[in-house]
Amino acid sequence: MRIVVTLALPLLLILSLLGFDFFYELNGRANPPVACAPGQPCRVAP
């Protein structure tokens, strides 16, 4: 059981980091972040 935890935890950590980075890239390209100031029109952040 200890071996499974030792092998699985770093693997899950790496996959989660890569996965979040990958999804952030996809979302950043598909939907660029929009900065909305109160009382002003929204503009797309660079």
Per-residue pLDDT tens digits for 6-20: 888 988 888 777 777
| Domain assignments of the chain as residue spans, ordered by start | 2-44
pLDDT at 46 over 70: no
4-8, 18-22, 28-32, 37-41: least confidently modelled range: 28-32
Is a pLDDT exceeding 80 seen at residue 33?
Answer: no
Q: Is the model's pLDDT at 39 over the cut of 80? A: no
CB-based burial of residue 41 (10 Å sphere; 0-12 exposed, 13-18 middle, 19+ buried)?
exposed
pLDDT at 7: 86
- CA angle in degrees (0–180, nearest 5) for 21-42-37: 95
